Amino acid sequence: MNGWRAVVRVLRSRTRTVFDDVVTTLFPADCKCCEGPLERASAVPVCEACVGHVRRSTMIGCGKCGEALNLDIDLEDERFAKTVAQGLLCRECRLAEPEFTRAVAYGSYDNEMRGLIHLLKFGRVRGVARLLGRKMAESILLLEEDAARELMVIAVPLYKQRERQRGYNQSILLANEALGWLRKLRPEWKLTPAHTAMERRKPTESSFVLSRKGRRRNLRGAFHVNGDVAGREVLLIDDILTSGATARGCARVLMRAGATKVWVATLARAQKKFVVRQHEDPGEMVARWDLVREPG
């Protein structure tokens, strides 16, 4: 029996290779992310290399919002370093602590990650959500040890007009793909989708370029809770966390509606460029914790 299974696997592999060769020869196409040639037939025009280059972030971040900290460290035990860092907060969270308990992300919003998310949000390539669903699930798993065994899952809502224009809410697609993976990986973890429990009642500007006061004004009255979240822990899902204003705004209305805790999981986290460069090229590191001041 095992021998026949091995033969079937080989035949399937060879058939797939021949099919890919025929399709890519007769209908050549380029990857929508890197613009290189596609070597396999696929309903989603993205090459395997681009998806493979989306890596988990190893930067140590704020224990609340996940913003990368300017830590000058040289510690052999990465797990110990992250445990210590969970007690450290970035400047933004020290000045105004968010109402969500913790925000986590799979990777940094750059390079292939940025390209794939742009395809999903602005290129209307909804199949990208399937490619990134496992990585979204791995982001959620970062909360496994701390979050409740039963969570109400809510994707950050889009304004209705914007969702109609796009044809879907990319955060809902990512959330549902991730939940599909987690049902297999953690069947005992009860994660219940409730995306209609919250709505966005007004359009908002991108908060990344706004001041702190501008972000508050921009999101004032934007979100409204429709569902019963009283006494529940909520898992908020979004594609990107940039300034954190959207997550803060959603958490605020959820907590006021009676949620006991709000956890945030995103696919990507936008980081300051100079901090990313420091992590990529740390230079001469010393065995010390040092919160470096930002330039200027």
pLDDT along the chain (296 residues), means of 10: 49 41 46 84 85 88 89 52 66 92 96 94 93 97 97 97 95 98 97 97 73 72 94 98 93 98 97 64 43 38
Q: Which two tokens stand for residue 98?
A: 């968010």
Q: Is 171 domain-assigned?
A: yes
CATH number at residue 131: 3.40.50.2020
**Residues whose CB falls within 8 Å of the CB of residue 1, separated by 6 or more in sequence, listed in order:** none
Q: Examine the domain organization and report whether 105 and 186 are in the same domain.
A: yes
Q: Examine the domain organization and report whether 223 and 164 are in the same domain.
A: yes
124 phi-psi bin (left φ>0, alpha ψ -120 to 50, beta other) = left
Instruction: List pLDDT tens digits, range 6-63.
Output: 543 544 444 444 333 333 333 347 898 888 888 776 778 999 899 999 999 888 889 9
Domain that includes residue 32, residue range: 2-48
Q: Which of 78, 166, 162 is nearest to 120 (CA)?
A: 166
Q: Is 109 domain-assigned?
A: yes
Q: Examine the domain organization and report whether 139 and 264 are in the same domain.
A: yes
Q: Examine the domain organization and report whether 11 and 134 are in the same domain.
A: no
Q: Examine the domain organization and report whether 133 and 201 are in the same domain.
A: yes
pLDDT for res 116:
95
Q: Examine the domain organization and report whether 186 and 266 are in the same domain.
A: yes
pTM over 0.85: no
> Would you list the DSSP string of 210-248?
S-HHHHHHHHTTTEEE-S--TT-EEEEEEEEESSSHHHH
